Amino acid sequence: MATSHPLPEGFTEIEVFGLGTVLLAEALLGFLLNGLTILSFYKIKELRTPNNLLIFSLAVADTGICINAFIAAFSSFLRYWPYGAEGCQIHGFQGFLTALSSISSCAAIAWDRYNQYCTRSKLQWSTSLSVVLFLWTFSAIWSAMPLLGWGEYNYEPLKTCCTLDYSKGDRNFISYLFLLTLFEFLIPLFIMVTAYQSMAFKFKKNGQFKFNPGLPVKTLIICWGPYSLLYGFATIQDATILSPKLRMLPAILAKTSPAINAFIYGLGNESNQVGIWQLLTGQKTEKVEVDNKTK
């Protein structure tokens, strides 16, 4: 089957297989780690709190990114996209929906932690549910725009996965990208930076560091910043002058975010650690804390 389809331009047989293997490894690891977070939230009653609902939302979004990566990995092993133009649009929408929801969930968690550690405000179920509903709906609206003609989904350089088409760099792309970047990347990033800076000041002042407040922001920038740079470059220059391998790098980095987020927000959460241990072993070693303490 593979021999009947030509290799994507700019890639060798080994490179296509290698990228497919990387995508598969990212998908498997992220799926496993976020699956533990989701199952522990579902199975352990003590973990079902308004605060942990935001972490649950992030884990669901990141699991969606892993599913997107699974499909891309399978197509890479085939060396072509087997699902047609309509499948490409669905794949692009699903990838964008889960990616934007993941970024927004990270911002929501930062806002919650700020209130928890700096203002001592307790998150209520009604607020938590409203935040999750809003961020998923808002992400779905932005993800649907390319399906309606504002922006466009098309193949990545590897031709085995789909994302926002930046190859044209026309007004349609630029206008969509500008507002998308503002509302779904810069504003969430601003929320995270200001929230974690406030927490860092608070921790330094009282000498009690609950977790590393700089890590979530650095992770967001490393995982999603390259995509923003690539899209931004496409607004002023023809992005196809860059090598296909270089243009695939943002996609590979972005799909590391589910596993990294799982370590930071799920497994790095002290109450979740106890809950996951109870889920895996059936042994309740201590009372599950519910105040979102992290290492």
CATH number at residue 212: 1.20.1070.10
pLDDT in tens, 133-185: 999 999 999 999 999 999 999 999 999 999 999 998 899 999 999 999 999 99
Residue 168 forms part of a structural domain: yes
| 294 inside domain | no
pLDDT digits (tens, 9 = 90+) for 277-294: 676 776 665 554 444 444
Model-level pTM? Answer: 0.91
Query: What is the count of structural domains for the chain?
Result: 1
Query: Rounded distance, CA 212 to CA 167, Å?
Result: 38
- Which amino acid is residue 18, in one-letter code? G
Amino acid letter, 197: Q
Q: Is 262 a domain residue?
A: yes
User: Is there a domain that residue 50 lies in?
Assistant: yes
How far is Cα 133 from Cα 188, in angstroms, rounded to an integer?
A: 16
With cut-offs at 50, 70 and 90, classify the pLDDT of residue 204: confident
Give domain status of residue 289, yes or no. no
Question: Would you say residue 291 lies in a domain?
Answer: no
Give the pLDDT score at 289.
44
User: Is residue 286 in a domain?
Assistant: no
Domain that holds residue 155: 11-281
Helix, strand and coil percent figures for the chain, each rounded to 5:
75, 5, 25
Of the candidates 81, 72, 59, 83, the one whose C-alpha atom is nearest the C-alpha of residue 26 is 72
Q: Would residue 128 count as lying in a domain?
A: yes
